[in-house]
């Protein structure tokens, strides 16, 4: 405690003394766990990407990623002992499915056929109920074929009229059905296959889970949280206690309040006035590194604009201290070489006591990845 500072005696409803403002500001006595050491596999450089996309091969796996992230995805797949080829912008092919879902892929499926018409695609798709998704890679060339994509989709759906396909990807997920995949890889050429809705990287066509922006949201960051929670599959409910680290101006906090949660919002910056004055919000105007919660929370959220490894260490501290049960975080990766950082972050989180750690560059993520985890049984 600083000289001249006297502890206050404020108690919570259970009679526990609450740390006062000075204490919350003081550097925590509990150090962050160290960054876990990771032996990185040998580096793999991709050959220059050809201007004209190479066509994929039947029997191989087709992956799509954010435009410009082919090198990260390619190396990630090579590190998982796959034989990979970059086919063109946003498209990578492998000889098999990797053991761990790739962080930098939005969608992946095994190619059953390469076709030239929607009629051929309809014939190659599963003849049992499956939600059919027709999509293009999210690149300039791919997006220019959006009209062709719609035309293929309506022809294919008309030809599948007799099959009782699930009406939404969610109903495919619930019934354990598959997602029929038609990816227009070049003009008048599509790779066709399918993937179980429950194991697919995303339920959105090509992994483009576009979230609606509402006029009331104080920041576009809220869409990242909406997509992250859709990916996690469960959300905080009424009365749950959520801690939101790096919360200003309050997009995530607002979304959590809308779900009925109580939110402890931690940021050195200010919250939007309507969020700050909400009766279920407590704003801790301080650095997240010194914040110590009065009681364990149900959900830890984090969208701090800070160095990724330090954020991973901070999150690891929350698991080790049993301060949170579930975690969703958006971690910024501004560096060019992101993959070694992803591996170090994962190892640090697992060493801290998080389990079921999943990392993914979601549709709304730019130079960042989203991580979800639950506190391990032995933590």
Active site residues: 332
Q: Which helix (H) or strand (E) holds 263?
A: strand 262-266
* Residue 282 tokens, joined: 């407590």
Provide the terminal-to-terminal Cα distance of the chain, rounded to the nearest Å. Answer: 29
| Nearest CA-CA partner of 353 in 327, 328, 378, 323 | 378
Q: State which of residues 228, 266, 327, 339 lies at the interface with ligand SAM (CB under 6 A).
A: 266
| 102 lies in the site for ligand SAM, by CB under 6 A | no
CB 204 within 8 A of CB 364: no
**269 contacts: CB under 8 Å, gap ≥ 6:** 248, 249
User: What single-letter DSSP state applies at residue 367?
Assistant: S
| CA 194 to the chain's CA centroid | 22
Measured from the CB atom, is 193 or 218 closer to ligand SAM?
Answer: 218
| 306 lies in the site for ligand SAM, by CB under 6 A | yes
Measured from the CB atom, is 43 or 220 closer to ligand SAM?
Answer: 220
| CA torsion angle 105 231 314 237 (round to 10) | 180
| 308 lies in the site for ligand SAM, by CB under 6 A | no
Q: State which of residues 251, 308, 352, 353 lies at the interface with ligand SAM (CB under 6 A).
A: 251
User: What single-letter DSSP state applies at residue 207?
Assistant: G
Neighbours of 309 (CB within 10 A): 16
Q: How far is the CB of 178 from ligand SAM (least distance, A)?
A: 35
| 289 lies in the site for ligand SAM, by CB under 6 A | yes
| Binding residues among 40-99 for ligand SAM as defined by CB under 6 A | none
Measured from the CB atom, is 305 or 335 closer to ligand SAM?
Answer: 305
Q: Report the distance separating Cα 87 and Cα 147, nearest Å.
A: 22
| 269 lies in the site for ligand SAM, by CB under 6 A | yes
Measured from the CB atom, is 247 or 348 closer to ligand SAM?
Answer: 247
Piece of the chain touching ligand SAM by CB under 6 A; list 110-118, 148-156, 302-310, 367-375: 302-310
Tell me whether strands 241-245 and 297-302 are parallel, antiparallel or unpaired.
parallel
| CA 241 to the chain's CA centroid | 22
**Angle CA 60–339–99, to nearest 5:** 40
| 166 lies in the site for ligand SAM, by CB under 6 A | no
Piece of the chain touching ligand SAM by CB under 6 A; list 52-60, 124-132, 245-253, 365-373: 245-253
Measured from the CB atom, is 194 or 348 closer to ligand SAM?
Answer: 348
CB 114 within 8 A of CB 56: yes
Measured from the CB atom, is 174 or 274 closer to ligand SAM?
Answer: 274
Piece of the chain touching ligand SAM by CB under 6 A; list 4-12, 197-205, 233-241, 304-312: 304-312
| Binding residues among 203-242 for ligand SAM as defined by CB under 6 A | 219, 221-222
Q: State which of residues 138, 240, 267, 365 lies at the interface with ligand SAM (CB under 6 A).
A: 267
Q: Report the distance separating Cα 179 and Cα 82, nearest Å.
A: 23
Of all residues in this chain, which one has the CB nearest to ligand SAM in the complex? 251
Residues near ligand SAM (CB under 6 A), total: 21
| CA torsion angle 226 229 234 236 (round to 10) | -70
| Residues making contact with ligand SAM (CB under 6 A) | 219, 221-222, 246-252, 266-269, 287-289, 303-306
């Amino acid at each position: 405690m600083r000289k001249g500072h006297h502890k206050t005696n404020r108690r919570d409803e259970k009679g526990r003394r609450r740390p006062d403002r000075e204490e919350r500001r003081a550097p925590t006595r509990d150090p962050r766990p160290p960054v876990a050491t990771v032996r990185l596999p040998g580096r793999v450089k991709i050959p220059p990407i050809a201007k004209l996309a190479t066509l994929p091969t039947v029997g191989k796996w087709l992956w799509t990623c954010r435009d410009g992230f082919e090198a990260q995805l390619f190396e990630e797949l090579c590190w998982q002992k796959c034989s990979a080829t970059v086919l063109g912008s946003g498209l990578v092919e492998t000889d098999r499915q990797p053991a761990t879902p790739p962080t930098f892929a939005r969608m992946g499926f095994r190619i059953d056929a390469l076709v030239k018409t929607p009629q051929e695609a309809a014939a190659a798709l599963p003849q049992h109920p499956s939600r059919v998704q027709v999509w293009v890679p999210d690149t300039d060339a791919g997006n220019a074929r959006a009209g062709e994509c719609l035309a293929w989709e309506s022809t294919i759906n008309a030809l599948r009229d007799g099959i009782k396909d699930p009406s939404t990807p969610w109903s495919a997920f619930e019934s354990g059905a598959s997602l029929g995949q038609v990816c227009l890889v070049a003009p008048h050429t599509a790779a066709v296959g399918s993937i179980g809705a429950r194991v697919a990287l995303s339920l959105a066509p090509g992994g483009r889970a576009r979230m609606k922006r509402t006029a009331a949201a104080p920041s576009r960051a809220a869409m990242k949280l909406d997509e992250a929670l859709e990916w996690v599959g469960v959300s905080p409910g009424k009365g749950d206690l959520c801690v939101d680290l790096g919360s200003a101006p309050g997009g995530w906090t607002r979304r959590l309040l809308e779900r009925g949660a109580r939110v402890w919002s931690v940021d050195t910056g200010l919250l939007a006035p309507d969020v700050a004055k909400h009766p279920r919000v407590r704003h801790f105007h301080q650095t997240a590194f010194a914040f110590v919660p009065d009681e364990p929370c149900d959900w830890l959220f984090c969208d701090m604009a800070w160095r990724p490894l330090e954020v991973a260490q901070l999150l690891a501290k929350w698991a080790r201290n049993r301060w949170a049960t579930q975690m969703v975080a958006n971690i910024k990766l501004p560096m060019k070489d992101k993959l070694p950082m992803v591996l170090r972050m994962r190892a640090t989180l697992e060493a801290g006591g998080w389990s079921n750690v999943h990392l993914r560059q979601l549709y709304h993520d730019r130079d960042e990845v989203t991580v979800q985890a639950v506190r391990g049984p032995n933590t």
